[in-house]
Homo-oligomer: A and B are copies of this chain.
């Protein structure tokens, strides 16, 4: 375990694989959701909106873990345990970038007609476990 992403982990995060993110609920129970994911150097980035449970959980307790495994190779995986910071800056750009990565199209259509405020969740690893 280390706090840097090995090259194989970065390659995995460059692919349009779906990740699972764990946050901690107000009662201490872990909560899980499926997310789009990328890396920025050694940080892992996901997107959320300020009206989501995930946002409220991270605002209360920034300890977050992310796991991703290739859908065609499920015994390979990356787990990142880290500390998250959140910022509205770049939030719209990130979700549009994700929509292009996962669906080949910009912009992301899902927020249209909503008042969703998009947030960048930047997870700085404390521990990285990678089995390539």
Contacts and interface: CB of A to CB of B under 8 A. Distances in A.
Interface of A: 18, 20, 22-25, 28-34, 61, 63-67, 69, 71, 74-75, 77, 79, 81, 126
A63 B28 CA distance: 8
A79 B24 contact: no
A22 B30 contact: yes
Contacts of A74: 18, 34
SS of A interface (majority)? strand
13 contacts: A18-B69, A20-B20, A22-B31, A22-B65, A24-B24, A28-B61, A29-B65, A29-B126, A30-B64, A31-B81, A32-B66, A32-B67, A34-B77
B18 A32 contact: no
**Closest A-B pairs by Cβ, 7 of them:** A22-B30, A32-B67, A71-B71, A20-B20, A22-B22, A18-B74, A30-B30
B65 A30 contact: yes
B32 A24 contact: no
Contacts of A25: 81
A79 B34 CA distance: 10
